[in-house]
Structure 1
Amino acid sequence: YQYDPQNPMVLNHLANHFFFKKDYTRVRQLAMHALNNTENEAMRAESCYHLARAYHAERD
């Protein structure tokens, strides 16, 4: 992350990590950042998945 903080794959992996740590605010931040930093549809879909999962876990 420190070498390429804009890399959407790294951001999505970190979002997944923080999901299991139950840090849903961080999940949303990382996933949204990943979503906004790629045009790759598969990567955008994964970002949306992480966002939805965090909101679902919080019951929002």
Structure 2
Amino acid sequence: MKDNCPTCLERDVAPAVSRRRGQRTRDGYQCPRCGQQWITDRITTAYPADQDAA
């Protein structure tokens, strides 16, 4: 799942690393524009399956 940079608002940043554990997905991102790094932790069942392909 892509995300937006919290610092410079660069859109559609793809995760650099993803891990799944049970119903949770943790994605690590690094913005190609400003270098900001961040992590998201999501409950997989809360997102439609077709969003993973986006």
So what's the TM-score if we normalise by structure 2? 0.27
Return the structure number with greater helix share.
Answer: 1
Return the structure number with greater strand share.
Answer: 2
